[in-house]
Amino acid sequence: MVKWKVYGLLSTKPVTMRRPLLILVIWVCACINSALVRGQVSVIYSAGVKSGITMSRFIEKGTRNDYLVSYLIGLSIEQRFTQRVSLSYDLLYSRQGNIVFLTNPGPFDKVRTKYNYFTLPVSLRCRFKRHPVILSPGFQVGYLVSNRTDFLPKGGYTNSIPFLKRSDLGFSFGLGYRFGTHFFGEVKYFESLIPLFKVAQAERYNQTISANLTCYPFTKK
């Protein structure tokens, strides 16, 4: 069976993530949409804006990386099938990256890397009966638009775009809560399944923890 090599949620110890986990989430989302097309499910559409704070770093074996605090912002659409089941689609501008504090600093004592992506997260939102917390497993596709690595505290930076893959793909999992009709708050974890480098360097993956708030002012049945 084919396996993806990734790393643990909050550690650098390698674990094994099976590709069928991602395929299962995509398949469930496709089945719901297929039922909708056949007219078996009535749906309520909501559209709005999303923004949030992110903490991101690279998962890289043998390297201690620290979190870069940044942001995400974009648009969101939700398909609500029942009071407890819905699908969400986002189009976001998201800054991911990393900070490394050098153990033997010379003119620089830390390196800050910023990867800017357009991302398309898709999540299945499920709320269990009598529980207000909403679970949201899903996947995310990303496209790298810019990159910058700064050597601090002094100036100087590099652009490593030629060595990076433009596309990114990974899995996500979130815990959310619906505030009334128009607001949805969520804490979400994302991890890449594809190494960032094109060439044979140390394997590096994106990892992001975010706190988001979505406002849905527009609703249509």
Which of 191, 194, 188, 186 shows the shortest CA–CA distance to 209? 188
Domain that holds residue 196: 3-220
Angle, vertex CA 141, rays to CA 112 and CA 41, nearest 5: 145
Q: What does each C-alpha distance from 58 to 64, 97, 106, 112 come to in angstroms?
A: 9, 7, 23, 11
Match 């700064």 to its residue by tokens: 150
| Tens-place pLDDT, residues 19-52 | 666 666 666 666 666 655 555 667 899 999 999 9
d(CA 195, CA 203): 6
What's the CATH code of the domain at 167? 2.40.160.20
Average pLDDT for 126-152: 90
d(CA 170, CA 185): 21
Which of 116, 13, 4, 114 shows the shortest CA–CA distance to 64? 13
pLDDT of residue 130: 79
| Tens-place pLDDT, residues 45-78 | 999 999 999 999 999 887 778 999 999 999 999 9
Global pTM value: 0.81
pLDDT, greater one: 5 or 204: 204
Backbone angles phi, psi at 22, to 5 degrees: -70, -40
| Tens-place pLDDT, residues 166-210 | 999 999 999 999 998 899 999 999 999 989 988 766 788 999 999
Q: How many domains does the chain have?
A: 1
Tell me: pLDDT of 114 over 60.
yes
